[in-house]
């Protein structure tokens, strides 16, 4: 598939939006850890080469692009905690983090483009959802990279605090290794106990203990 372009950004700038922010998240699907949202306003004169959906890039490429983005763009990152995810739901927690990330930028954008199908409530500017935006827009691709690298670093640190689970290997996703560790050691404070796979493992362990 073709790489993301700045076609959406140029369209919006032609319509009068001087500052366009791309928004994306990392970590909606894992069984543990926060969901992280990033908001990125690229300098049209300094768009890093090689921007793409973070899922299509290897770790080395993401890290290199992360450095280039942080050096040449306005960036804000917000993490929604496991507690917030449990108290609301993953969608609401993600949209909250996205809106907070935009609010945390050092400048007020004129228009936001968001990966997915939802426009977060509470944005301080106009916004539009872009399906598969991380594969279409350089701004959203940049946000996807920042969110992914930030969250991965958080989970690597979490792996040092909770060494039984292998967070530094699977980043909290429901791999066989992770589920086996969850069965062996139970949940830690980073586990999303409202997610069905975690509940299933914990309920099975409780049932086994009562048998």
| pLDDT tens digits, one per residue of 32-60 | 999 999 999 999 999 999 999 999 999 99
**Where in 17-164 does DSSP place strands (E)?**
20-26, 35-42, 73-80, 111-115, 126-130
User: Given the structure tokens 């909290």, which residue do they identify?
Assistant: 172
Q: What is the C-alpha separation between 209 and 18, in angstroms, rounded?
A: 61
pTM value surpassing 0.85: yes
If DSSP codes are grouped into helix, strand and coil, which group holds residue 113?
A: strand
Burial label for 33, CB within 10 Å (0-12, 13-18, 19+), is buried
Q: What is the C-alpha separation between 91 and 37, in angstroms, rounded?
A: 12
Tens of pLDDT, residues 72-85: 999 999 999 999 99
Instruction: Compute the average pLDDT of residues 80-91.
Output: 98
Q: Is the pLDDT of residue 206 over 80?
A: no
What was the pLDDT predicted at 209?
A: 54
Runs of H (alpha helix) within 130-195: 138-161, 167-170, 176-185
């Amino acid at each position: 598939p073709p790489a993301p372009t700045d076609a959406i950004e140029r369209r919006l700038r032609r319509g009068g939006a001087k500052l366009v922010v791309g928004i994306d998240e990392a970590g909606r699907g894992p069984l543990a850890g926060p969901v992280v949202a990033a908001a990125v306003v690229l300098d049209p004169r300094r768009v890093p080469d090689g921007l793409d959906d973070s899922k299509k890039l290897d770790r080395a490429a993401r890290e290199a692009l992360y450095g280039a983005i942080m050096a040449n763009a306005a960036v804000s990152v917000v993490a929604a905690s496991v507690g917030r995810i449990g108290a609301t739901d993953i969608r609401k927690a993600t949209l909250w983090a996205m809106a907070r990330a935009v609010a945390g930028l050092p400048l007020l954008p004129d228009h936001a483009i968001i990966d997915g199908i939802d426009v977060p409530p509470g944005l301080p500017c106009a916004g539009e959802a872009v399906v598969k935006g991380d594969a279409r827009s350089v701004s959203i691709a940049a946000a996807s990279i920042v969110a992914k690298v930030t969250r991965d670093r958080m989970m690597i640190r979490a792996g040092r605090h909770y060494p039984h689970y292998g967070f530094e290997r699977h980043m909290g996703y429901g791999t066989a290794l992770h589920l086996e560790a969850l069965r062996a050691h139970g949940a830690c404070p980073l586990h999303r106990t409202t997610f069905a796979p975690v509940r299933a493992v914990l309920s099975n362990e409780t049932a086994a203990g009562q048998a």
